[in-house]
Amino acid sequence: MLEESREAVVVLDANDVVVTASRRARQSLGVREGDELSPDLLQSERALIVPYDVDGRRERLVYLSETGDLAAYEELRSGFTAAVSHELRTPLARLLSLLELASLPGENVPELLEQSRREIDQIVELIDEVLFLAELESGTRVVSLGAEQVLPVLHEVAAELGEQAARAGVSLLVEGDEDASAEVRPRMLRVVARNLAENAIRYAGPGANAVLSVRRSNGEVVLRVVDDGAGVDQADLARLFERFYRADRSRGSRGTGLGLAIVKHVVTSAGGTVEARGGRGAGLEISCSFPTRA
């Protein structure tokens, strides 16, 4: 629980020596087991200290909030709410228009109802992904728990998305190291693989090939999806993992704009990194690197 905490939390012994620290504390404060925590830090307004006894030893649990955390959180929450509202308006407006058309004489009502169902599916998908991302960010969904072989998951995802890929004119291929395992829960690994594959199917374009692969490299397991499709502008690469961000050519797509944001959150929560490479007309490559245990 301490390791996966989204807060900077440390446990101190009676001499203010760090017994253990959360991942965020290690990353943001640079503290490690055996370090002595600064008295100035302990006495600052950032520190919330909870003393307790365990097996006759006196220890303290110290929560260290970042300066401006609350204001930053409120700004993020407000922006996220506004973005969700904006994204819902488009399918709701289309749905209302379709229902109004269905009430007019001479219209093809069955076809309009089918289009309305598709708009409802889009709304449901968006709501589901918003809730899933909220669970990830709140820590309700545990990302890392044991090791999972990656290649079988890639094969399963490719099989599940085969019909969707065929309709889009995109060829899905799978290759890689059969023994490569990532320190991530099976459900979360499937989420990452499926979202990456669906991103390629939606945006690579007809006639494109997309390869899902996994390799072990320099102490890491790298899950990579590479397509030779339309690609994106260099300026868009750094923003692909933002919530609701879409490159200009894909703004009219049926995606929610949350798939790659979810990928990034899962991978970074597991201690990994994500990176996008490519260019307009040069395809797109997205790499997810997971650390491996020594």
24, 125: one domain: no
Q: Under DSSP, is residue 194 helix (H, G, I), strand (E, B) or coil? A: helix
Taking the C-alpha atoms of residue 10 and residue 163, their distance in angstroms, rounded to an integer, is 49
pLDDT at 251 over 50: no
Assess if residue 180 is contained within a domain: yes
Let me know if residue 4 belongs to a domain: no
* One domain for residues 287 and 155: yes
Encode pLDDT of 270-293 as tens digits.
888 999 998 888 899 999 998 876
Tell me which amino acid residue 211 is: V
Which residue range forms the structural domain that includes residue 266? 148-291
Same-domain status, 154 and 80? no
Q: Is the dihedral of CA 166, 167, 168, 169 positive or negative?
A: positive
Whole-model pTM?
0.56
| Residues 100, 166 share a domain | no
User: pLDDT of 10-21, one tens digit each?
Assistant: 888 888 888 888
In terms of domains, do 46 and 154 share one? no
Regarding whether 78 and 31 lie in a shared domain, the answer is: no
Residues 154 and 232 in one domain: yes
- The pLDDT score that the predictor gives to residue 293 is 61
The Cα–Cα gap between 46 and 237 comes to: 36
153/194 same-domain check? yes
Q: Are 155 and 226 found together in one domain? A: yes
Strand order in the sheet with 284-291: 171-176, 209-217, 220-227, 284-291, 273-278
Calpha distance 110→94 (Å, rounded): 16
